[in-house]
Structures are given as C-alpha cells and as structure tokens.
Amino acid sequence: MEIIQIVAFALIAACMVLVVRQTNPVYAMLIAVAAGVIIFLRVAFYLSSVLQMLLDMTLQANISLVYLNTLLKILGVAYLAEFGAQICRDAGENIIAGKVEFAGKMLILVMAMPLVVAVLETIINFVP
C-alpha cells in the first residue's frame, strides 16, 4: 500500500529533522521541505487519473472547460498556500504563515468570482 510507504518515509524524515535540528536548524528545515516535496510528488502521480475523470465528467455534462480550469487553479492555490504556510510555521514564522494563508484566500476569492457569477446567472435564468 502506498500510504504505508509514505508514512514510513515521513517518520524517517521526521526523525532526521529532530536529530539535525539540534546541531543545524537550517538543514533541518531543508530536510522537512524536501520531504514534503517528495511526498507531494509521490501522490501527484495519482492526480492524473482524477484529472482525467473530472475532464470526462465536464465534457459529458457539456460544461465549459474554463470552469474546470478555474476550479483546478483554485485547488492549486489552496494547496500551495497551505504548503507555504506550513513551511513558514516549521521555520517558526507564524506571522508570515498567516499572511501566506490570507493571500491564498484572497486569490481564491478573486479566482472564484467568475464561477459565482455563472452560478448566480444560472439561478436567475431558472427563476421566472
């Protein structure tokens, strides 16, 4: 099972971070970031099947691909903002982490507006 390998890798990386942090905190943070990237890359392989399924469903429902593209961008911003904020927290910079999360939320709000407008227009068209 993939999750067992990922958890085992994460535990080994966490132990390495704990050992290295005592002597060199900068290297400990780099190990933690590298571990996060490696875990993401292991899971990213599975995203292609999910993306293909979403694409097929979008085409079957005759929905514009612009909406799917926007939704995927929003998900990407959410993930990257969370990842960046966690890195900042690991470095002990909670204030910067909060600002990264805030920036991510604002970008998501701006990116989601065309979807919100489309939903509202659809609702208005159904109401007599």
pLDDT in tens, 8-26: 999 999 999 999 999 999 9
Name the residue ranges covered by the structural domains of the chain.
1-46, 64-128
> How much is the pLDDT for 39?
93
Percentage, residues of the chain above pLDDT 70: 100
Sign of the CA dihedral with 60 first, then 65, 69, and 71 last: negative
pTM score of the predicted model: 0.78
pLDDT at 128 over 80: no
Measured from the Cβ of residue 60, the count of other Cβ atoms closer than 10 Å reads: 8
CA pair distance 126, 55, nearest whole angstrom: 26
Q: How many residues belong to the chain?
A: 128
The pLDDT value given to residue 70: 93
